[in-house]
Chains A and B, each alone.
Chain A
Amino acid sequence: MRLERGELAGGRVARAGTGPFDALLVSRLDVDLLVLDIPPIPDRDLEGLVRYKLRSRYPGNPGQTSFDYRVAHRGKIRRAIVFVARTSTVEAYRAAAGRRPLVAPCQLVAGRVPRRGPFTAWIGDGRWAEVLEFRDGVLVSSRVVHRGNGDWRTAAGSSAPALVVAPGKDLEGLACGDGTTSLPLESIRLRRAGLKGLFPGPGPGPTVSPGVRTALLVASVLVLGVLVLFRFARREEARVDRLQGMARSMEQEALASHALRQETDSLLLERDRLDAGVPPDRYRLLAELSAVLGNTARVWAIELRDDRFQFEAAGSDPLALMEAMKARDGFDGLQLSPVVPDTASGTERFSISGIFHDR
């Protein structure tokens, strides 16, 4: 992220450069920094505590003052790093920065502070310098010196810092001695991830209360549910249309089948009409009798009338003959007359009557 320096001038924030930038560095002449020790209280109560303490530590009108804070802690040490400014100043910086985050000078060195021991850093601009004192990684104090008062070191009144951050041209004239790391302000690139700008804006649009959000969510779910139901209904109706089409075409085929059945029934009636009064085939009847009688009996009279027959014969075993005739297709209603054995010939005289079907 490219850093641009800003400073309040004539009610508006002027930028040090003209090119594009990703974050706006606030001037310590415009934004004050207070380091407050805070007790172990819930985070939700922290803002109220800071606001309370500011009343005694900051001289400005609370109604015209805006503040933001960061909590730093190490071990049992817990401190609130509070950034305070007039509300009009904050609004000017917001207007200059747009949606870009506002960055405090102390945030530039946050990643370079050792976790043990004292650490002093100077962050300077053209007209001011901030002296930051850290101990064990936590900010202890911050004060601003005006470079208009003279040389930095004299104004700072402290030993040589471990780190100096300033515009490159200012670093050239600054001799801090060995052990001091100089870092041009222009070379600092902040990482967007994890950076939380000061005095964040109200957001892209009006906030929606949780109740309204819940209501909108419920309404969306209900509407979606109804739409899904209508979708299911339309899909089922489309399926019904397809089935109706299929049934219609099959109904027409069924009508053809019905006509086929009627034609078949008519043909059966015609066949019955043709067969009405036609007796069984006489030759076939005689052939069947001949086949079943064989050489077991000798027939001497046959009478056929319509579908009935009767024959008189003499044979060795009329009972077996009856069984044989009953087993054959075509013979029904068979009756054996009283059998009269003929002792002279050794045969038995009998007659058999019945019905013959040749179809």
Chain B
Amino acid sequence: MIARRTRVLLLLLGATAALTATGVAAGEALGRLAEARAEAVRLEARIGQLREEAARAAAAVVERDAIRVEVEARAARRYAAGTMNPYAFATLAKARLSSLGVTVLRYQVVEGGTHPGVDVTATGSVRSFVAFLRGISEDGRLWIVPSLEIELHPVDGSADVRLRIGYATDDGAGR
């Protein structure tokens, strides 16, 4: 027979061990629960951000496609590298002006730079010059007019023009 005091002490020891083990297990469970919840909160916030980015992605695709169309259209108007030179361009410019009834009084080929071309001094009707500018605005290849001086004569509707006309290549070298 175990003495009563010993029995009580053994019971206390057993209870303490049981409570300690329960406390340790509960602590671990609570720790895991807290960690999991914190991680879940972080992930939910991240998923919220990713959802917003995904929503913007659809609009970004549309924007990219629109810019690509712009860039392709602009690049397509440039002369391919090596297909144009300032002298051939000057010939084209003179012929175009002449076809509109403009009289070329003087011209000088401009080589080098990003937009080589020709400086032209001409005279003709205002309509002819407007038609020339509309033509190079609307037609396929990009002709650039870096400078333009027009002196109008309202009496007969004519104008004296000094302008530089240039061209652009797709490599940006102007050759």
* A residues with CB within 8 A of B: 215, 219, 222-223, 225-226, 229-230, 232-233, 236-237, 239-240, 243-244, 246-247, 250-251, 253-254, 256-257, 260-261, 263-264, 267-268, 270-271, 273-279, 281-284, 286, 298-306
B71→A271 contact, CB < 8 A: yes
**Residues of chain A contacted by B16 (CB below 8 angstroms):** none
20 A-B Cβ contacts within 8 A?
A215-B15, A219-B18, A226-B22, A226-B29, A232-B33, A233-B30, A236-B40, A263-B64, A264-B60, A267-B68, A271-B70, A271-B74, A278-B115, A278-B142, A278-B168, A279-B146, A282-B133, A303-B149, A303-B150, A305-B148
Binds A, one of B44-52, B79-87, B88-96, B101-109: B44-52
Count residues of B near A (Cβ-Cβ below 8 Å).
57
List 9 A-B pairs, minimum CB-CB distance, nearest first.
A229-B29, A236-B36, A283-B137, A250-B50, A243-B43, A283-B133, A233-B32, A304-B148, A233-B33
**Residues of chain B contacted by A219 (CB below 8 angstroms):** 18
**Residues of chain A contacted by B36 (CB below 8 angstroms):** 233, 236-237, 239-240
Given A219-B18, A270-B71, verify A254-B50 contact (CB < 8 Å).
yes
Complex interface bits, B1-33 against A, C-beta within 8 A gives 1, otherwise 0: 000000000000001001100100110011011
Interface of B is mostly: helix
Complex interface bits, B35-62 against A, C-beta within 8 A gives 1, otherwise 0: 0110110011011001101101100110
Q: With both chains docked as a complex, state the minimum distance between the C-beta of B34 and any C-beta of chain A, in angstroms.
A: 9
Q: With both chains docked as a complex, state the minimum distance between the C-beta of A316 and any C-beta of chain B, in angstroms.
A: 16
Given A243-B44, A254-B54, verify A237-B32 contact (CB < 8 Å).
yes
Given A274-B71, A277-B115, A305-B147, verify A247-B60 contact (CB < 8 Å).
no
Identify 17 new A-B residue pairs, CB closer than 8 A, beyond the known A277-B144, A278-B168, A302-B149: A226-B22, A229-B30, A230-B29, A232-B29, A233-B36, A244-B43, A254-B53, A264-B67, A267-B71, A271-B71, A273-B172, A277-B114, A279-B146, A283-B136, A301-B151, A301-B152, A304-B148
**Residues of chain B contacted by A250 (CB below 8 angstroms):** 47, 50-51, 54
Q: With both chains docked as a complex, state the minimum distance between the C-beta of A186 and any C-beta of chain B, in angstroms.
A: 52
A300→B144 contact, CB < 8 A: no
**Residues of chain A contacted by B61 (CB below 8 angstroms):** 260
Q: With both chains docked as a complex, state the minimum distance between the C-beta of B12 and any C-beta of chain A, in angstroms.
A: 11
B137→A282 contact, CB < 8 A: yes
Q: With both chains docked as a complex, state the minimum distance between the C-beta of A357 and any C-beta of chain B, in angstroms.
A: 15
B74→A274 contact, CB < 8 A: yes
| Residue from B29, B60, B168 in contact with A260 in the complex, judged by beta carbons closer than 8 Å | B60
CA distance A280 to B46 in the complex (A): 46
A261→B60 contact, CB < 8 A: yes
B145 contacts the other chain (CB 8 A): yes
Q: With both chains docked as a complex, state the minimum distance between the C-beta of A293 and any C-beta of chain B, in angstroms.
A: 12
B100 contacts the other chain (CB 8 A): no
B60→A257 contact, CB < 8 A: yes
Residue of A nearest to B11 (CB): A215
Q: With both chains docked as a complex, state the minimum distance between the C-beta of B61 and any C-beta of chain A, in angstroms.
A: 6
Q: With both chains docked as a complex, state the minimum distance between the C-beta of A267 and any C-beta of chain B, in angstroms.
A: 4
Q: With both chains docked as a complex, state the minimum distance between the C-beta of A296 and any C-beta of chain B, in angstroms.
A: 15
CA distance A270 to B74 in the complex (A): 10
Given A253-B57, A282-B137, verify A300-B50 contact (CB < 8 Å).
no
B54→A253 contact, CB < 8 A: yes
